[in-house]
């Protein structure tokens, strides 16, 4: 059964916040975070009569296509945010270096 995309996205945010609160910045690794993400287990239930998946936690009711669609959209949003953070980090590190050189 697929994991509920809505609940998974919410859970990821929670896990990431906890990880960042508990792990020093220099000890953080994306792989560690992804490993924690892999442990998320919020399977949806299949309603065989209507061929829809149901999430008992948030009540999401969707076909397999809709589930993938929602997951894709949520991932896209996450990716855009990460790219922006990377840009910011790059800019920040560069400006820090420039400050040291001056």
Q: Which residues bind Zn ion (CB under 5 A)?
A: 4, 6-7, 55, 57-58, 60
- 58 and 6 in contact (C-beta within 8 Å)? yes
Q: Which is nearer to Zn ion, 6 or 67 (CB)?
A: 6
Q: Which is nearer to Zn ion, 7 or 15 (CB)?
A: 7
What minimum distance in Å lies between the beta carbon of 44 and Zn ion?
7
Please enumerate in sequence order all residues whose Cβ is within 8 A of that of 40, keeping only pairs 6 or more positions apart, or say none.
3, 8, 11, 12, 15
Q: Which is nearer to Zn ion, 4 or 67 (CB)?
A: 4
Q: Which of 12, 1, 7, 14 is CA-nearest to residue 57?
A: 7
What minimum distance in Å lies between the beta carbon of 16 and Zn ion?
18
């Amino acid at each position: 059964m697929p994991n509920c995309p809505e609940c998974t996205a919410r859970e990821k945010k929670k896990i990431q916040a906890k990880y960042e609160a508990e792990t020093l910045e220099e000890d953080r690794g994306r792989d560690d975070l992804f490993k924690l993400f892999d442990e998320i287990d919020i399977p949806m239930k299949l309603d065989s009569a209507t061929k829809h998946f149901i999430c008992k936690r948030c009540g999401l009711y969707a076909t397999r296509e809709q589930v993938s669609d929602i997951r894709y959209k949520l991932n896209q949003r996450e990716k855009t945010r990460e790219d922006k953070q990377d840009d910011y980090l790059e800019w920040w590190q560069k400006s820090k270096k420039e400050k040291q050189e001056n």
